[in-house]
Amino acid sequence: YVTKMRRYLQMAALNNIMGSVFGIRLDGEGEGRQVREMVEEGFELLGAFNWVNHLPWLRPLDPLRGYARCARLVPRVRTVVQRIINQHRQSPVPRDTTHSDFLDVLLSLQGHHNLHDDDIIAVLWEMIFRGTDTVALVTQWTMVELVLNEEMQGRAQVELEAVVGRDTSVRDEDISRLPFMQAVVKESLRMHLPGPLLSWARLCTVDVDIAGGMHVPARTKDMVNMWYITHDPQIWESPHEFRPERFIEQKVDVRGNDLRLAPFGAGHRVCPGKALGLTTIHLWLAKLVHHYKWIPSPQHPVDLTEVLKLSSQMATPLTGIPTTINNY
């Protein structure tokens, strides 16, 4: 059975975040398709080249239709999110803190903190937008490496069988007892960062001279090239090889406390969804590898070519063949 993983992972990631944010689940049709298309359009717009960024006088002409597409997307987003907000307000089902979602929390604060619907829409869409494609991307890239590295996949399965067993499924609490699976995820994040250029853009307000003879003039915008850091041979031995064991030998915290590998950023502007994202990725990968042995499809060779847009995407999405190895 040949599986094109990207489509399933994207829909699973969308439903995961929609459940946390809105407490609802979408199918692949109707509103589910509409939300997925809006997320894809947003990523396409943010990652697309635009001449206007380099030649501002072209903006009235909008040669690549970027502004026109944004003008169509924004009201679509507002309409869908506002409809879900209104449905929450009209819901006859009593909501308590045990079963409430993030929208319930925001609505409960609305009367006390001067929180308008426009503010809520902006916060919720940011969570949906940022929490969908990144999780699917990291999961897919990690599966690509495991499909190509049969030995690593087998080692992860041996660990899962020892810790979880053959007759039960992986749970959230099992992840902390799976050091090799955690190392696999870290190595995937190092090699295939979902956001190679971190959104740490800063504006230099004065001229600065940096050690090494580099001069940074005032009004220069700087960003962190995390991809270069994670592939620097002075920091990482054999940086272009997939070697999860490096994270067994050395402890690296990917949550922003070690700048050798900080895929979620660091400091006050660190990604607020890092814990949810890491938990989801670990659990999904553990379940996929625990239940199945994955092999590449002969008709669709694995292609590691990257396409840099807003995130680092696969030029050719993974197509794999799952073979059942456990009976549940």
The string of pLDDT tens digits covering residues 46-66 is 777 788 878 888 888 888 888
Residues 67 and 70: their CA atoms lie apart, in Å, by: 5
Number of domains in the chain: 1
Among 132, 128, 187, smallest CA distance to 156 is for: 187
Q: When comparing pLDDT for 230 and 309, which is higher?
A: 230
Q: What SS3 state is found at 209?
A: strand
pLDDT at 113 over 80: no
How confident is the model over 259-287, as pLDDT tens digits? 899 988 888 878 878 888 899 999 999 99
Rounded to the nearest 5°, which phi and psi values hold at 151? -65, -45
What integer is the mean pLDDT of 294-303?
A: 87
Least confident of 92-106, 163-177, 289-303: 92-106
User: In this predicted structure, what is the pLDDT of residue 93?
Assistant: 54
Residues 284 and 172: their CA atoms lie apart, in Å, by: 10
pLDDT at 318 over 70: yes
Burial class (CB in 10 A: 0-12, 13-18, 19+), 16: buried
What integer is the mean pLDDT of 1-17?
A: 82
Residue 79 domain boundaries: 3-324
pLDDT at 324 over 70: yes
pLDDT at 252 over 80: yes
Rounded to the nearest 5°, which phi and psi values hold at 53? -65, -25
Helix axes 117-148, 102-109, angle to 10 degrees: 160
What integer is the mean pLDDT of 231-243?
A: 95
Q: What is the pTM of this model?
A: 0.85
Task: Provide the mean pLDDT of the chain.
Answer: 85
Angle (CA) 246 274 243, round 5°? 15
User: In this predicted structure, what is the pLDDT of residue 174?
Assistant: 94
Q: When comparing pLDDT for 224 and 258, which is higher?
A: 258
* CATH code of the domain in which 86 resides: 1.10.630.10
